[in-house]
Amino acid sequence: MTATIAGSVTALPLPGPFLTALREGLERLGDRPLAPALDLYTTARTIVATLALPDVQRDRIAISLAEDHVAVSCSTRDREEPTGTHYVHHELNRGRLTRSFWLPVNVVPAAATASLENGLLTLTVPTADAHAPRCDEVVEVRVD
- Nearest alpha-carbon partner for 41 in 137, 138, 123, 121: 123
pLDDT of residue 33: 58
Return the higher-pLDDT residue of 10 and 99. 99
Q: Give backbone dihedrals phi and psi of 128, rounded to 5 degrees, phi first.
A: -85, 150
Q: Model's pTM, two decimal places?
A: 0.72
pLDDT in tens, 62-94: 999 988 899 999 988 777 778 888 888 777 767
List the end-to-end C-alpha distance of the chain, in Å, as a whole number: 31
pLDDT in tens, 11-63: 455 566 777 777 776 666 655 556 788 999 999 999 999 999 988 999 999 99
- Nearest alpha-carbon partner for 49 in 6, 2, 109, 91: 109
**Angle, CA 110 vertex, CA 144 and CA 104 arms, to 5°:** 100
The pLDDT confidence band at residue 6, using thresholds 50, 70 and 90, is very low
